Amino acid sequence: MVDGVLTLKFLVSLIVFGVLLIGAVMLVLRKSRFGPLFVALVVVVGGYFLYDQIRSTTSDASVLAEYREDSEIRHLKISKITFDSGLYTYKESILLEDEKTIRDILEDLSGLNLKREVNKEQGGAEYVLDLLVSNPNDNIIETGTIHITVGTEYINDYKIVSEKDHLKTIKELEVREDLEWEKE
């Protein structure tokens, strides 16, 4: 499974696939003339459908896997980027320490339905988000950076297949006059 996500939709698909496969095998055992054809059809169509289901996930499970409710957010750096001649170039950035704004951005990114793109072409990203997060783990605090590349159609290597304005808060930050973006 992609990123360890096991959804109810996948389980139902797996059960339906199993029932159809058992029915097809029973046709073969009864020496039906269409049994082998039905088995082949169930395996090919069902296998592709299950494969397609495995590639689907949500942004909570894939992109924000290292962020938890008990995580302490140190800061978020948002960098605007452009893609030109096969390379990404950083244009300007802003460092946010306001926890409410950061949580609003994370809320915008959560709950998206995503599909893994195996052969995704480069380009399409508009922002790079570097989130410095501390997670309590037993008697120590682990601190690390979550790196997320975001565009209108993609988050990291995932295509966004749901309808949600996931860039809403970031776009609002761009037009705020009290914030100053630094050139890179």
Say if residue 5's pLDDT is above 60: no
At residue 92, the pLDDT reads: 93
Q: Which residue, of 33, 58, 83, is where some domain finishes?
A: 58
Rg (CA), the chain: 22
CA 101 to CA 114: how far, in whole Å?
24
Distance of alpha carbon 122 from alpha carbon 59, whole angstroms:
20
Most confident of the following: 20-24, 78-82, 130-134: 78-82
Average pLDDT of span 20-39: 81
Per the model's pLDDT, the better-predicted residue between 130 and 86 turns out to be 130
Q: Provide the whole-model pTM.
A: 0.66
3-class SS shares of the chain: helix, strand, coil, % to 5: 40, 35, 30
**Whether residue 181 has pLDDT greater than 80:** yes
| Nearest C-alpha neighbor of 61 from the set 108, 125, 98, 113 | 113
73 with 26, same domain: the answer is no
Measured distance CA(49)–CA(30) in Å, rounded:
27
Confidence of residue 1 (pLDDT cuts 50, 70, 90): very low
For residues 13 and 78, membership in a common domain is answered with no
User: Is residue 184 one of the residues assigned to a domain?
Assistant: no
Nearest to 160 by CA among 126, 122, 111, 118: 111
Q: pLDDT tens across 46-71, in order?
A: 777 777 666 666 555 455 655 666 77
Same domain for 157 and 143, yes or no, is: yes
- pLDDT at position 38 over 70: yes
Of 128, 132, 136, 141, nearest to 75 by C-alpha is 132
What one-character-per-residue DSSP string does 67-125 give?
--TTPEEEEEEEEEEEEETTEEEEEEEEEE--HHHHHHHHHHHTT-EEEE-TTPPS--E
Together in a domain, 23 and 68: no
Q: Domain count for the chain, please give it.
A: 2
- Do 154 and 102 fall into the same domain? yes
Is residue 154 pLDDT above 70, yes or no? yes
Predicted local distance difference test score (pLDDT) of residue 55: 61
Q: 37 falls in which pLDDT band (50, 70, 90)? A: confident
Average pLDDT over residues 147-174: 87
Residues 52 and 68 both lie in one domain: no
pLDDT of the residue at 153: 87
User: Ranked by mean pLDDT, which of 15-24, 73-82, 154-163 comes out on top?
Assistant: 73-82
Q: Is residue 183 domain-resident?
A: no
Could you tell me the residue range of the domain that residue 46 belongs to? 2-58
